[in-house]
Amino acid sequence: DVDLREVAERTAGFSGADLANLANEAAILAARHNKTKINQIELLESIEKVLLGPERKSHILSKKEKKIAAYHEAGHALVSSLIPDTEPVRKISIIARGMAAGYTLKMPAEEKKIITKSEFLAELAVLLGGYCAEKLKFNEITTGAANDLEKASDLARRLVKEYGMSALGPISFGEKEELVFLGKEISEQRNYSEKVAAKIDEEVKKFIIEAENRAKKLLTKKLALLDKIAKTLIEKETIEKEEFEKLIKDNS
């Protein structure tokens, strides 16, 4: 009853502890379902719980928030589907999980050891898809994008400072040092001048603005499809992979 290939694909990147946690959650779930064996359904549900934290059904969104969350997640998913170099969308949801009002789940088919600049640029555009969708639809910015902006900014900084992917060239900036007496804490020692710090900021800004423009342009062109995905989400709260792919195909 278990499709191991699907489980393996969806748990790519899991640590040993994550896998132990997963087995445990699936067993609990099977017990709740009065089963003596774990089936695919318990495994898949547990994978999401391990990845995103428990669903928070009590954490109900207002109508206005639901609409914002729907367009936000639809933005991520649509940009992702329109850009090559991205992994397929597996699930979109506006049921609150952990701290987030909604989520879009993409999982790599296999664990990557090497990531290219093109893939990172695609990731940046997808991350800004939620922000752009909200702005486009409501002419408004909300706190819902804060986590995406943090991730995108951190990633852009890494492109410039660690991966030599900006106009600053193949130089590494900033020494990481583990502060042993503080446990796991890692702090960066600034080993460059203010002048270089300002150039790094400019390159980071360029990456973010390019990603924003890319996402905005794609969403503007496919506004009707964005509306459709968002409306489906408001209605059903969750869209699975197959349905999402059908939505995209029917509207291309």
Active-site annotation holds for 194: no
User: Per rule CB under 8 A, is residue 236 in the interface with a second copy?
Assistant: no
Piece of 2-10, 73-81, 116-124, 238-246 that binds a second copy (CB under 8 A): 116-124
Q: What is the DSSP letter of 85?
A: T
User: Per rule CB under 8 A, is residue 34 in the interface with a second copy?
Assistant: no
If the CB atoms of residues 32 and 184 are measured against a second copy, the closer one turns out to be: 184
Beta-carbon neighbour count of residue 217 at 10 Å? 14
By the 8 A CB rule, do 97 and 180 touch? Answer: no
Tokens of 245: 């792919």
User: Per rule CB under 8 A, is residue 200 in the interface with a second copy?
Assistant: yes
- Pick from 8, 24, 88, 117: which binds a second copy (CB under 8 A)? 117
User: Per rule CB under 8 A, is residue 8 in the interface with a second copy?
Assistant: no
- Choose the catalytic residue: 73, 134, 203, 212: 73
If the CB atoms of residues 6 and 201 are measured against a second copy, the closer one turns out to be: 201
Does an H or E element contain 189, and which? strand 186-189
CA–CA distance, 118 with 83 (Å, rounded to integer): 10
CA–CA distance, 178 with 33 (Å, rounded to integer): 46
Piece of 7-15, 174-182, 219-227, 237-245 that binds a second copy (CB under 8 A): 174-182
By the 8 A CB rule, do 90 and 107 touch? Answer: yes
Piece of 14-22, 33-41, 141-149, 237-245 that binds a second copy (CB under 8 A): 141-149
- Pick from 12, 19, 141, 223: which binds a second copy (CB under 8 A)? 141
**Burial environment of residue 2 by CB neighbours within 10 A (0 to 12, 13 to 18, 19 or more):** middle
Strand partners, 238: 93
Strands 103-106 and 238-240, how do they pair?
A: unpaired
Tell me which residues are annotated as active site: 73
Name the site residues for a second copy (rule: CB under 8 A): 59, 61-62, 65, 68-69, 96, 101, 110, 112-118, 128, 131, 138, 140-146, 149-150, 152-154, 156-157, 162-165, 169-173, 175, 177, 179-185, 187-189, 191-198, 200-201, 204-205, 208-209, 212
